[in-house]
Structure 1
Amino acid sequence: MSKDNSDSLEQEELEEEQEDEIEEEFQEPEEDPANVVFENGKGLVASEDADRLSQQGFYGTRIDGNKLELEPVELLHLIERKRAIASTPSGEHVGSDYIVNSLLEEDPDLWIRYLVFRDLRSRGYAVRKGFGSGIGFRVYARGDKPGAANAKELVYVLKEGVPISLSDLDLVTKTAAGSRKDLVFALVDQNGEVNFYKVAQSTLRDRSGDEQ
C-alpha cells in the first residue's frame, strides 16, 4: 500500500521468544491421546478427556454434560501432535485428510486457516476462533488464559494472490478499532509459509497541519 492511503501495512513478525521458553510455557505431560468423535463438522470430547485438553492446552469450548467441543483447526492440531484420536459416531477411525475433505465444500479454506492456527500455537499463543467480518482468530497475549483475559489481537487470514477488497479492509479495520484490539493479517503463500503483517491506522495532514 502506498503512503497516501490512510491505512498502512507494516510487516511485523509476532514477538518471538526463545524456543525453550515457549516449550516450557506449553509443555504438556506425556499421556494417552484423547478420544474425539468427529460429528457435524466439530470434534466432541467426553468429560473424562475434556478437562486436560481445556486446562492444559486451552482447546475447545465447554458444552452440555461437561463435554468439550473442538473447532476443526483445533482437532487437526491435536491429531498432528498425537494428542487426539478421531473417529466417526460409528467408531471408524479417521485422520486429518478425512476431516479436511469432509468440510471442503462448506469450508474450502480450512487448511489455510489451520496453517495459521498451527503457526500461532507454535509461538506459544492461546488462540480462539474469530467472529464476524472475516476475522479468523482471536489471539491472546502470552500467559493470558481465554475466559480470564481478553484477546489482544484479531487475525485476518489471507491467501497469496487473492486480494482483499477495500470494503473488506475498511470493515475489518473498523471491527478491530471498535473492539480495541490490534489487527494482524496472516498471509499464507503458495508454499504454506505464514507471514504476519500488523495493520496500523494513520492520519494524513496537509501542509497547514489540518487533517485530510
Structure 2
Amino acid sequence: MVKISYCDEMSDVEVKIEGVLVRNQTIVSNKKMQNILEQKGCGEISKKKFILKPFESLYLLYTNYLELKEGKKKINFDTLMQKCLKYDNNILTKFLIYRDLKSKGYVVKDGFGFGSDFRVYERGHFGEKGAKYLVFGLSEGKQEKLGQLQKKVGQITQMGKEPVLAVIERRGEVIYYKISKIKFLKNEANPPITPIEL
C-alpha cells in the first residue's frame, strides 16, 4: 500500500494505483481508485474506460504512486518516458510543467489545443469554476515565432483565460510568465524614417 499525499488532503488514505499501459496511456480499472483520482483532477473517462494521460502516468510513476504494467511486464519511469516520446516529442516538457504545478498544489488538466498544454485551476476551485489559466510550455533554447505566440495569446484571452508561458531552463527548473495580448506592427523592407528634432 502507498500513501498518496500529492495534490490533496488525502495523506491519511492508503491506496495503491494499478494501471495497464495501452500505447502511451494508462487504464485504471479499480472503481475506487478512479473516483479518488477523478476528484483530484487526475484522469478522465473515455469510451467507458478511465484513462490517465501520459504526463499524469509519468508523474504518478515518478512519485511512486503508480504500479504500471504492459501485459505482465512492469513498466518504470524511464521505459514509459521512452514509449511516450514516440507519440509526443514534447512529453518531457509537459511532464516537467505538470510535476511543478502539482507540487505547488494546483489541479492540472490537458489543454484545449492551439498550443496550450494545460488548463490550470485555482487552488480549491476545481469542479466549481473553469480553469483560470492556460499554460503552454517552451524549453529554453527552443525558438517560437512571435506571430505564433501572438495567435496563442489572442485565442486564450478571447476565452477569458489568462495565458501563461512556462519556460523550462536547462536544469529543469520551470519559470512562469503571465502574458497579455500584444500587437506587432508589420515589418517593412524600407520603413519611412521620421526625422527627430533635437
TM-score range, shorter chain: 0.7 to 0.9
Unpaired segments ≥5 residues, structure 1:
1-22, 205-212
Q: 1:136, 1:155 within 8 Å by CA — same for their partners in 2? A: yes
Partner of 2:90: 109
Partner of 1:164: 144
Specify the structure having the higher radius of gyration (Cα). 2
Q: Which of 55, 58, 70 in structure 2 is aligned with 1:76?
A: 58
- Which contiguous aligned blocks of 4+ residues in structure 1 show a shift greater than 4 angstroms? none
Aligned pairs for 1:1-212 (under 5 A) are 26-28=8-10, 29-48=12-31, 49-55=33-39, 57-65=40-48, 67-88=49-70, 90-146=71-127, 148-201=128-181
Q: Name the CA shift for 1:112/1:180 in 2 (closer, same or farther; >3 Å).
A: same
Partner of 1:15: none
1:35 maps to a residue whose letter is: E
Higher relative contact order at CA 8 Å, sep ≥6: structure 1 or structure 2? Answer: 1
* Structure 1 residue 40: Cα displacement: 2.0
Q: 2:41, 2:126 within 8 Å by CA — same for their partners in 1? A: yes
* Structure 1 residue 168: Cα displacement: 0.9
Three-state SS of the structure 1 residue aligned to 2:85 is coil
Three-state SS of the structure 1 residue aligned to 2:113 is coil
Normalised by the length of structure 1, the TM-score is 0.77
Normalised by the length of structure 2, the TM-score is 0.83
2:8 maps to a residue whose letter is: F
Q: 1:33, 1:82 within 8 Å by CA — same for their partners in 2? A: no
* Structure 1 residue 94: Cα displacement: 0.2
Identity %: 28
Partner of 1:19: none
**Structure (1/2) with the larger strand percentage:** 2
Q: 1:153, 1:181 within 8 Å by CA — same for their partners in 2? A: yes
Three-state SS of the structure 1 residue aligned to 2:123 is coil
Q: 2:17, 2:65 within 8 Å by CA — same for their partners in 1? A: yes
